[in-house]
A and B are shown apart, each in its own frame.
Chain A
Amino acid sequence: GNSVTQMEGPVTLSEEAFLTINCTYTATGYPSLFWYVQYPGEGLQLLLKATKADDKGSNKGFEATYRKETTSFHLEKGSVQVSDSAVYFCALITGAGSYQLTFGKGTKLSVIP
Protein backbone atom coordinates (compact mmCIF):
# COMPACT_ATOMS: atom_id res chain seq x y z
CA GLY A 1 0.00 0.00 0.00
CA ASN A 2 0.86 3.67 0.00
CA SER A 3 2.53 5.46 2.89
CA VAL A 4 4.20 8.78 3.64
CA THR A 5 6.82 9.41 6.30
CA GLN A 6 7.68 12.90 7.45
CA MET A 7 10.11 14.14 10.03
CA GLU A 8 8.63 14.38 13.47
CA GLY A 9 8.08 17.80 14.91
CA PRO A 10 7.71 20.17 16.38
CA VAL A 11 10.28 22.28 14.58
CA THR A 12 11.15 25.67 16.04
CA LEU A 13 13.11 28.18 13.98
CA SER A 14 14.06 31.80 14.26
CA GLU A 15 12.73 34.22 11.67
CA GLU A 16 14.81 34.22 8.45
CA ALA A 17 16.22 30.75 9.14
CA PHE A 18 16.37 28.04 6.47
CA LEU A 19 13.66 25.39 6.60
CA THR A 20 13.79 21.77 5.51
CA ILE A 21 11.03 19.26 6.26
CA ASN A 22 11.87 15.77 5.08
CA CYS A 23 9.31 13.58 3.36
CA THR A 24 9.74 10.10 1.90
CA TYR A 25 7.11 7.85 0.43
CA THR A 26 6.21 4.31 -0.55
CA ALA A 27 3.71 3.93 -3.35
CA THR A 28 2.26 1.38 -5.71
CA GLY A 29 2.47 2.95 -9.10
CA TYR A 30 3.64 6.40 -10.00
CA PRO A 31 2.36 8.96 -7.48
CA SER A 32 1.63 12.66 -7.64
CA LEU A 33 3.11 14.42 -4.61
CA PHE A 34 1.73 17.30 -2.57
CA TRP A 35 2.49 19.55 0.35
CA TYR A 36 -0.47 20.93 2.28
CA VAL A 37 -0.40 23.48 5.11
CA GLN A 38 -2.86 23.81 7.97
CA TYR A 39 -3.03 27.04 9.95
CA PRO A 40 -4.55 26.95 13.44
CA GLY A 41 -8.30 26.41 13.37
CA GLU A 42 -8.45 26.08 9.60
CA GLY A 43 -8.67 23.40 6.95
CA LEU A 44 -5.86 22.37 4.64
CA GLN A 45 -4.46 24.55 1.89
CA LEU A 46 -2.51 23.19 -1.05
CA LEU A 47 1.00 24.63 -0.89
CA LEU A 48 2.59 22.97 -3.91
CA LYS A 49 2.57 19.81 -5.96
CA ALA A 50 4.62 17.80 -8.46
CA THR A 51 3.34 15.12 -10.77
CA LYS A 52 6.46 13.54 -12.29
CA ALA A 53 10.07 12.82 -11.47
CA ASP A 54 12.40 15.84 -11.25
CA ASP A 55 9.47 18.26 -11.26
CA LYS A 56 9.89 21.13 -8.82
CA GLY A 57 6.79 22.54 -7.17
CA SER A 58 7.02 26.05 -5.76
CA ASN A 59 4.76 28.58 -4.08
CA LYS A 60 5.19 31.47 -1.61
CA GLY A 61 8.94 30.86 -1.40
CA PHE A 62 8.52 27.14 -0.62
CA GLU A 63 9.98 24.53 -2.95
CA ALA A 64 10.03 20.75 -3.22
CA THR A 65 11.55 18.49 -5.89
CA TYR A 66 10.12 15.08 -6.82
CA ARG A 67 13.03 12.64 -6.45
CA LYS A 68 12.05 9.24 -7.74
CA GLU A 69 15.44 7.62 -7.08
CA THR A 70 15.24 8.45 -3.37
CA THR A 71 11.41 8.42 -3.17
CA SER A 72 11.53 11.82 -1.52
CA PHE A 73 9.79 15.19 -1.70
CA HIS A 74 11.48 17.41 0.87
CA LEU A 75 10.01 20.86 1.55
CA GLU A 76 12.41 23.83 1.72
CA LYS A 77 12.23 27.56 2.24
CA GLY A 78 15.19 29.88 2.31
CA SER A 79 13.94 32.38 4.88
CA VAL A 80 10.95 31.61 7.10
CA GLN A 81 8.61 34.19 8.58
CA VAL A 82 6.47 34.16 11.70
CA SER A 83 3.44 33.84 9.42
CA ASP A 84 4.75 30.45 8.21
CA SER A 85 3.97 28.92 11.60
CA ALA A 86 1.59 26.06 10.83
CA VAL A 87 1.40 22.30 10.40
CA TYR A 88 2.77 20.95 7.13
CA PHE A 89 1.58 17.70 5.57
CA CYS A 90 3.23 15.72 2.81
CA ALA A 91 0.79 13.63 0.77
CA LEU A 92 0.49 11.50 -2.34
CA ILE A 93 -2.08 10.21 -4.78
CA THR A 94 -1.67 7.20 -7.06
CA GLY A 95 -3.88 6.35 -10.00
CA ALA A 96 -4.97 8.63 -12.81
CA GLY A 97 -8.06 10.59 -11.85
CA SER A 98 -7.87 9.45 -8.22
CA TYR A 99 -8.53 11.86 -5.38
CA GLN A 100 -7.57 9.57 -2.50
CA LEU A 101 -4.81 11.42 -0.66
CA THR A 102 -2.48 9.50 1.65
CA PHE A 103 -0.99 11.87 4.21
CA GLY A 104 2.04 11.91 6.44
CA LYS A 105 1.57 12.62 10.15
CA GLY A 106 2.32 16.31 9.77
CA THR A 107 5.14 18.52 11.02
CA LYS A 108 4.37 21.47 13.25
CA LEU A 109 6.53 24.50 12.52
CA SER A 110 6.86 27.40 14.92
CA VAL A 111 8.79 30.48 13.83
CA ILE A 112 9.87 32.88 16.55
CA PRO A 113 10.79 36.54 15.96
Chain B
Amino acid sequence: KAGVTQTPRYLIKTRGQQVTLSCSPISGHRSVSWYQQTPGQGLQFLFEYFSETQRNKGNFPGRFSGRQFSNSRSEMNVSTLELGDSALYLCASSLGDNSQTQYFGPGTRLLVL
Protein backbone atom coordinates (compact mmCIF):
# COMPACT_ATOMS: atom_id res chain seq x y z
CA LYS B 1 0.00 0.00 0.00
CA ALA B 2 1.41 3.38 -0.94
CA GLY B 3 2.31 5.72 1.88
CA VAL B 4 1.37 9.33 2.40
CA THR B 5 2.58 11.51 -0.45
CA GLN B 6 3.13 15.23 -0.37
CA THR B 7 3.72 17.59 -3.24
CA PRO B 8 5.77 19.52 -3.94
CA ARG B 9 8.72 18.37 -1.84
CA TYR B 10 10.49 21.72 -2.01
CA LEU B 11 9.22 25.21 -2.61
CA ILE B 12 10.73 28.68 -2.65
CA LYS B 13 8.46 31.72 -2.37
CA THR B 14 8.87 35.39 -1.59
CA ARG B 15 7.20 37.37 1.15
CA GLY B 16 3.63 38.34 0.42
CA GLN B 17 2.97 35.47 -1.95
CA GLN B 18 0.64 32.61 -1.23
CA VAL B 19 1.29 28.88 -1.44
CA THR B 20 -0.74 25.68 -1.66
CA LEU B 21 0.59 22.34 -0.47
CA SER B 22 -0.98 18.99 -1.30
CA CYS B 23 -1.27 15.75 0.62
CA SER B 24 -2.57 12.38 -0.56
CA PRO B 25 -3.33 10.04 2.34
CA ILE B 26 -2.96 6.30 2.47
CA SER B 27 -5.79 4.60 0.63
CA GLY B 28 -8.77 4.13 2.94
CA HIS B 29 -7.65 6.76 5.42
CA ARG B 30 -10.23 9.45 6.06
CA SER B 31 -8.39 11.73 8.49
CA VAL B 32 -5.62 14.10 7.47
CA SER B 33 -3.65 16.30 9.85
CA TRP B 34 -1.08 19.01 9.13
CA TYR B 35 1.92 20.01 11.22
CA GLN B 36 4.57 22.70 10.95
CA GLN B 37 8.14 21.87 11.95
CA THR B 38 10.68 24.63 12.60
CA PRO B 39 13.99 24.60 14.50
CA GLY B 40 12.69 27.18 16.97
CA GLN B 41 9.15 26.04 17.68
CA GLY B 42 9.49 22.35 16.91
CA LEU B 43 6.46 20.42 15.70
CA GLN B 44 3.16 22.25 15.97
CA PHE B 45 -0.32 21.08 15.02
CA LEU B 46 -2.08 23.14 12.35
CA PHE B 47 -5.40 21.38 11.74
CA GLU B 48 -7.12 18.07 11.15
CA TYR B 49 -9.75 17.13 8.60
CA PHE B 50 -12.09 14.17 8.58
CA SER B 51 -14.61 13.49 5.83
CA GLU B 52 -14.13 17.00 4.40
CA THR B 53 -14.77 18.69 7.77
CA GLN B 54 -12.23 20.45 9.93
CA ARG B 55 -12.41 18.75 13.32
CA ASN B 56 -9.57 20.48 15.10
CA LYS B 57 -7.46 23.58 14.65
CA GLY B 58 -4.21 24.63 16.25
CA ASN B 59 -3.12 28.07 17.31
CA PHE B 60 -2.14 29.57 13.97
CA PRO B 61 -3.31 32.80 12.32
CA GLY B 62 -6.08 32.81 9.75
CA ARG B 63 -3.50 33.02 6.95
CA PHE B 64 -3.21 29.26 7.35
CA SER B 65 -6.16 27.36 5.96
CA GLY B 66 -6.91 23.95 4.60
CA ARG B 67 -9.49 21.77 3.02
CA GLN B 68 -10.19 18.14 2.29
CA PHE B 69 -11.76 16.67 -0.79
CA SER B 70 -14.19 13.81 -1.13
CA ASN B 71 -11.33 11.41 -1.99
CA SER B 72 -9.65 12.41 1.33
CA ARG B 73 -6.84 14.31 -0.39
CA SER B 74 -6.07 17.52 1.44
CA GLU B 75 -4.54 20.87 0.66
CA MET B 76 -3.27 23.57 2.93
CA ASN B 77 -2.88 27.16 1.90
CA VAL B 78 -0.79 29.94 3.39
CA SER B 79 -1.55 33.45 2.23
CA THR B 80 0.60 36.56 2.56
CA LEU B 81 3.73 34.59 3.33
CA GLU B 82 6.12 35.80 6.02
CA LEU B 83 9.75 34.87 6.54
CA GLY B 84 8.75 32.97 9.67
CA ASP B 85 6.59 30.62 7.61
CA SER B 86 9.74 28.91 6.35
CA ALA B 87 9.39 25.40 7.67
CA LEU B 88 8.88 21.74 6.92
CA TYR B 89 5.15 21.08 6.58
CA LEU B 90 4.16 17.54 7.42
CA CYS B 91 0.95 15.79 6.58
CA ALA B 92 -0.28 12.72 8.45
CA SER B 93 -3.11 10.38 7.64
CA SER B 94 -5.09 7.94 9.73
CA LEU B 95 -8.14 5.76 9.51
CA GLY B 96 -10.10 8.16 11.66
CA ASP B 97 -10.95 5.48 14.18
CA ASN B 98 -9.98 5.62 17.84
CA SER B 99 -6.52 4.12 17.34
CA GLN B 100 -5.06 7.64 17.02
CA THR B 101 -2.19 6.20 14.99
CA GLN B 102 -0.96 8.62 12.34
CA TYR B 103 1.26 7.93 9.35
CA PHE B 104 3.39 10.83 8.21
CA GLY B 105 4.47 11.87 4.74
CA PRO B 106 7.98 13.08 3.90
CA GLY B 107 6.96 16.73 4.14
CA THR B 108 7.15 19.83 1.97
CA ARG B 109 10.04 22.14 2.74
CA LEU B 110 9.00 25.76 2.22
CA LEU B 111 11.54 28.55 2.07
CA VAL B 112 10.26 32.12 2.13
CA LEU B 113 12.69 34.78 0.93
Contacts and interface: CB of A to CB of B under 8 A. Distances in A.
Interface of A: 32, 36, 41-46, 49, 51, 89, 91, 93, 96-106
Contact of A99 (B4, B56, B90): B56
Given A43-B4, A43-B107, A44-B104, A101 B31 contact: no
Interface in B61-113: 90, 92, 94, 98, 100-107
B43 interface: yes
B45 A44 contact: no
Given A32-B100, A93-B100, A98-B100, A103 B105 contact: no
9 tightest Cβ-Cβ pairs between the two chains A and B: A43-B104, A103-B43, A44-B104, A43-B106, A99-B48, A105-B42, A100-B45, A100-B56, A99-B33
Given A43-B4, A43-B90, A44-B90, A101 B103 contact: no
Interface of B: 4, 31, 33, 35, 42-45, 48, 55-56, 58, 90, 92, 94, 98, 100-107
Given A98-B56, A99-B55, 12 more contacts: A32-B100, A36-B104, A43-B90, A44-B90, A46-B101, A91-B43, A96-B98, A98-B100, A99-B94, A99-B100, A100-B58, A104-B42
7 contacts: A42-B106, A91-B43, A99-B31, A99-B56, A101-B43, A103-B43, A103-B44
B102 A99 contact: yes
Nearest to B97: A97
Contacts of B31: 99
A53 B81 CA distance: 43
A45 B45 contact: no
